[in-house]
Amino acid sequence: MIQQIAELLRDEIDELEFVERTAGLVRPLPITVPAEGGVATKIMPVAINNEVPCEMEEMMYLIPDSAVMSIVFFEDGGTAIERTDSWYLHCRSTVRMVAWFNLKMINPDYQDATLLIAHLVSAVPKYIANTDLITGIVVFPTGEAVKETVYSAYDLNLEENMYFAFPYDYGAFEFEVVYRIPKNCLDEIIIDPDTC
């Protein structure tokens, strides 16, 4: 459920001029990187392209890079079923929007990302159109995350990494999304395994 919610939120911010690289739901996944004396495993934010999920090159690593203007992705904060009735599962999900900015590529006069994050949050409407599975979608911005926690799920050393100091900036904003899943209108499950 949260995967579709993240894609809907991504669609809302995707066309902003300063948004260059976006992803829906990202997961912290281990990747192997070169290190002194061999290789090391680090946890990085990774999005999988749903269009061609069988090809490894379709995995998108969302790591800050000086050649990119901005990176925006979403993290899963959990989903609760608040209640059920004869027709619906009533759900509430928490979603975190993480954003990193290369300020010198956006506007060298900007000292931080406050204005950019405000535009991202403003681009997300309160009501989002129904999908085939999710209805009655209402989005509530709940607050900005503490800066030191933004990349804490990943092995990115903020003290040593130049991409987390000026002229770069980053932040995260949390949303609560309430919605319904119609129990009696779910598509039938069709078993049709893919062979990658």
The H or E element that residue 10 is part of is: helix 2-13
Percentage above 70 pLDDT, the chain: 89
- Kindly state whether residue 191 falls inside one of the protein's structural domains: no
The stretch 76-83 carries a mean pLDDT of 92
SS3 105: helix
- Kindly state whether residue 115 falls inside one of the protein's structural domains: yes
CA atoms within 13 A on the CB side of 13: 27
**How confident is the model over 91-137, as pLDDT tens digits?**
999 999 999 999 999 999 999 999 999 999 999 999 999 887 899 99
pLDDT score of 44: 86
Task: Kindly tell me if the per-residue pLDDT of 52 is higher than 70.
Answer: no
- Kindly state whether residue 192 falls inside one of the protein's structural domains: no
**Contact (CB, 8 A) for 107 and 147:** no
pLDDT score of 190: 75
pLDDT score of 57: 47
In our burial notation (b when 16+ CB lie closer than 10 A, e otherwise), range 50-62 reads eeeeeeeeeebeb
**How confident is the model over 163-172, as pLDDT tens digits?**
888 999 999 9
Number of alpha helices (DSSP H) and beta strands (DSSP E) in the chain: 3, 9
The stretch 153-182 carries a mean pLDDT of 87
Task: Kindly tell me if the per-residue pLDDT of 158 is higher than 70.
Answer: no
The stretch 45-54 carries a mean pLDDT of 65
Q: Which domain holds residue 158?
A: 2-185
For the chain, the straight-line distance linking the first and the last C-alpha, in angstroms and rounded, comes to: 24
pLDDT score of 132: 77
pLDDT score of 148: 87
- Kindly state whether residue 193 falls inside one of the protein's structural domains: no
Give the helix ranges, DSSP H, for 23-171: 103-106, 114-123
Higher pLDDT, 135 or 31: 135
The pLDDT confidence band at residue 160, using thresholds 50, 70 and 90, is low
- Kindly state whether residue 32 falls inside one of the protein's structural domains: yes
DSSP 8-class letter at 54:
T
* Rounded distance between C-alpha atoms, residue 18 and residue 123, angstroms: 12
| Number of domains observed in the structure of the chain | 1
The stretch 71-83 carries a mean pLDDT of 93
Mean confidence (pLDDT) of the chain: 87
- Kindly state whether residue 190 falls inside one of the protein's structural domains: no
- Kindly state whether residue 196 falls inside one of the protein's structural domains: no
**Contact (CB, 8 A) for 28 and 45:** yes
> CA of 173: how far to CAs of 13, 42, 51, 54, 71, in Å?
13, 25, 27, 31, 14
Higher pLDDT, 140 or 65: 140
Contacts of 104 (CB under 8 A, 6+ apart): 167
- Kindly state whether residue 66 falls inside one of the protein's structural domains: yes
The CATH code of the domain that includes 124 is 3.30.2000
Higher pLDDT, 84 or 169: 169
